Structure 1
Amino acid sequence: MHVKDELYGGFELDDVLGSLIASAPLHRLKGIYQGGASFQVNRLWNVTRYEHSIGTMLLIRKLGGTLEEQIAGLLHDVSHTAFSHVVDMAFGLEAEDYHEDIFEEVILRSEIPEILKRYGYSSQLILGDLKKWSLLEQELPALCADRLDYTLRDQLRYGGISQRDAKIFMDELQIVEGVICVRSVEAAEWFTEVFYQEVIGFFLNPLNIYAYDTLAKTLKAAWDSGLIASADLLKEDAELLQHLRGTNHPEVLQLLNQLYSNPALTEDEQHFHIHRKTKVRLIDPDVVVMGKPIPSSQLSSRVKRLGREAKEKAEKGVYVKVGG
């Protein structure tokens, strides 16, 4: 199977990866938007979980990861619900981990274990603990393929960086002691700024805040009224939206109308309707110095300053006034 990606170019894939990509769980991710509620209010915010899953797999491959880790990268998001992290907000889950809690259940109920078995792989060994894959997952503030891909992919699609920018940065990546590092302080500073464009500039954009808040209230109202159940959350975004509209529930319909009302939004700490904080996400890329990984914050005052400013912004949150 041949795939072509806007970030990483073209690749010929192993048969097992092609079979997994053709499976129903991966196909569903084509209808799950990475930004959750974002696509509902801005059609240009249109990166899907499918694109991110393919991209994470390809980045791991590009970095020399094993086929097993590529499989883990491809499948790491198959349990994401419709509207992604909006569900976490609806349920009040500050860790944003609902999809992680149901990951094993989603895998076991799918054809994925059988596909892997057909090619001689164990789903339990590959997917039982995703944190064992050091290229795929690392705790913040380290780099990992998942974090790199969603940041670069979103910012490329939304105009924050160019393909040339992304390529120059990816040429700076190097694996040291099993961890993704960069070769220069300049590369660490560049990615740090791009990462905060994503988690502060995009995630905390007032339009995003409004969309998440309104859609989360919609899902909670439907859930509390018994109009949706766990199985409905594993539909595609458009399917769940259609289901919500079909309930004819006054509060649900009113909230959906608000979601698409295109109101005037301003940041106003004194007269606000929505105050939202997000999980604090800080980045501190390791730089290779004499063959060893060193946190860039120890080498760059800029990285340290950007991290301090991002932490303050995330902890303070954004105050959004709706309407004039």
Structure 2
Amino acid sequence: MRSPQVRPAEGLPSRVTIYEVGVRDGLQNEKTIVPLDVKAEFVRHLEDAGVGVIETTSFVSPKWVPQLADAADLLAELGESGRVRTRPVLVPNPKGLDRAIEAGVSSIAVFGSATETFAARNLNNTLDGQFDMFGPVVERAKAEGMWVRCYVSMCFGDPWEGDVAPEQVVSVARRLMDLGCDELSIGDTIGVGTPGQVEAVLDGLLGAGIDLDRIAVHFHDTYGQALSNTLASLRKGVSIVDSSAGGLGGCPYAKSATGNLATEDLVWMLHGLGIETGIDLEKLVETSMWMAERLGRPSSSAVVRALGARG
């Protein structure tokens, strides 16, 4: 299988941690329920490909996301490997945290909003009210010894409110981190951001005292900007990037949000830049082709399509 030519560039991290969201964020929007054994096998294939961090599921209400109604069963199927620090689960509220604790997980993520409208639509709350909701969740999780990530969505544009000022993103991010989160993921939920915006937001976060090694980026590829935005982030020193195998995913509460940055496309670029990921690209491509067969449609990853066509 073809590999990218390696041409290292100055000023970039020597290693990038890829935070894989395909199993949770990638599958949550699928209209047909993906069987439990397929989800578990998906995780195992990703592990075999060398993917280190995999967000496996969410303890969200089955009423809102039926695809993830099997969260506890999936973790039971994965056994101890599904409970380690590098297998976080999304927790939307205190009830979700109760279920996560019962399942024995050791790391969670909460999902905040940078805009008022999305907070109402996604969280059934307000921009300010979300902190009151997440505060007890983070506090209890930390008391239980858990590692906690916080997502901030709609950081570069909102389908209802339009442009989002970097200062607004920084304010929300700082308040979430002040609750006690260990890591911050900045999300371009509808994929409208460009490198200049990315740099402005990252500069704001650094200016607000959020350490670079605690910042991750999460880009959607709606306008084809995910890789360019990722490269801009790397040049700023970011070394944690969210992506989804095969480009699976979107956002059920923002219809203009198409797929996540494909992990294969990201790995191709990183390896070409001489950046270590620990991932076997050939095995990763095989995994996404395997998953595409089970979903009954081609992968949206350009790298999977290119390498898959070569046989």
TM-score range, shorter chain: under 0.3
Q: TM-score, normalised by structure 1?
A: 0.24
Larger Rg belongs to: 1
TM-score by length of 2: 0.25
Larger RCO (CA within 8 A; separation ≥ 6): 2
